[in-house]
Amino acid sequence: MKKRQLLFTLPIFAITLIAVFTLFLAPEPTNAAFGPFNPLPPKIVPDCSITLRSADGQITGLDKICTFCDFLTLIQNILNYIWWVITPFVIVIALIWGGALMFISSTQGNVTQAQRGKKIIFNTLVGFVLVFGAWLIIDTIIKILGGKIASVEGVRDGFGPWNKITCVAPVVSTTLPPPLPPPIPPEVIAEGATAAICSKIRANNSRISYGSEDCKELLSTERVGAKRTIDDCASSQSPIICENGCNDKAVCKREPGVAINPKMLAALDILGQEQSYTLSSITTGSHSPASCHYGGACVDVYVTPRTKDSMEVLRKRMRALGASSAICETKEINPTTGKNYFDTCDAVPNSFNITHVHAQFP
């Protein structure tokens, strides 16, 4: 009986000694030995994201922005330390204890101690299986909560490696915003300078074009439009003001009491120095009865081709040049508001046709 117990306990005791040497006395393996399955992270608390900057100072990352993925990584790191550090230590101690009890009982003939040692070893192995299964289950749940399963170079995509989560740092644009345009010099918009500004606009016929002339001046057969408005302004004449619903009827007439906004003219001049555009309407054309066009404070402009992107750039530029508001008008009706305009050109549905940017100046 004693010989049988001795033959059974000696291999267990030998395996336990080998495990102790491997875990605690052998040199620590390098990360390369684990490859992509390196079990232990360098630290329990992850660093989250760290700001990275390019050579010219542009931001390419975010400064310590912890996400939900980083929180899951923290839990995963704690589980890995429990599994790879605490669990092996507890298992080895329990196996040594159970093996020692069986070894001592085999020399003393104590059956009770032998049964106790076997029970300790059996419970230890069962506990190992339960802890391993729980670790796999929790690890899988963490990866599912993370929204995706990380893949590592050299490892197939899927639920692996079990002990790692890869968090993608938030990304910000590396393109710095364009500098603000220089303010319009006060002398440019001084009283009496409007004629000079309109002359500059009229002379810039290589970049500034004009929309259609859709109305007629009172007691005249000549059609009028934005070009006529600029010409009259350059000649220091009062602008021709149209009315709502104007067409071929003689409804347009001069209004000496109306002055075109000098800030708006200065903005149109600066815009023409930067790019080509079409001046669609200032005081002429058919607008709403109380439109700011008829007060000389609004302008309609567009660029070719009239895409959402190009028109949105134009809209933002008009705001930067001093417009108090700038909207994107379309041929179709906005189903939300019942109007034919949108606050931004980006909000215009792809099926809609953009006609122009409407800008108002204070």
The 10s digit of each residue's pLDDT in 198-240 is 999 999 888 999 988 777 776 677 788 889 889 988 888 888 8
Sign for the CA dihedral angle at 333, 338, 342, 346 comes to negative
Cβ atoms of 166 and 67 within 8 Å: the answer is no
Q: Which residue has the higher pLDDT, 159 or 361?
A: 361
Can you spell out the DSSP letters for 267-291?
HHHHHHHHS-EEEEESS-S---TT-
Confidence at 25, pLDDT banded by 50, 70, 90:
very low
Q: For the residues 237-259, what does the mean pLDDT come to?
A: 79
Element (H, E) at 326: strand 325-330
Strands 215-217 and 223-224: antiparallel
pLDDT band at 118 (very low <50, low <70, confident <90, very high): confident
Tell me the H-state helices in the chain: 2-20, 31-34, 68-81, 87-108, 111-145, 194-203, 226-234, 262-274, 308-320
pLDDT at 177: 54
For 313, phi then psi, to 5°, come to -60, -40
pLDDT band at 156 (very low <50, low <70, confident <90, very high): very low
What pLDDT is attached to residue 208? 92
Measure the CA–CA gap between 53 and 193, rounded to whole angstroms. 47
Kindly tell me if the per-residue pLDDT of 297 is higher than 80. yes
How does residue 77 score in pLDDT terms, banded at 50, 70 and 90?
confident
Q: Please say if the pLDDT value at position 361 is more than 80.
A: yes
Q: According to the model, what pLDDT value does residue 182 have?
A: 57
pTM for the whole structure? 0.50
pLDDT band at 138 (very low <50, low <70, confident <90, very high): confident
Mean pLDDT for 151-179 is 51
Query: Has residue 168 got a pLDDT over 80?
Result: no
| CB of 79 closer than 8 Å to CB of 135 | yes
CA–CA dist 360, 29 (Å, integer): 71
Amino acid making up residue 43? K
Q: What pLDDT digit, counting tens, does each position of 312-351 carry?
A: 999 999 999 989 999 999 999 888 888 889 999 998 998 8
| Angle of helix 111-145 versus helix 68-81 axis, rounded to 10 | 170
What whole-number percentage of the chain has pLDDT above 70? 65
Cβ-contact 272, 261 below 8 angstroms: no
DSSP 37-62: G--S-S-SS-------B-TTS-B-S-
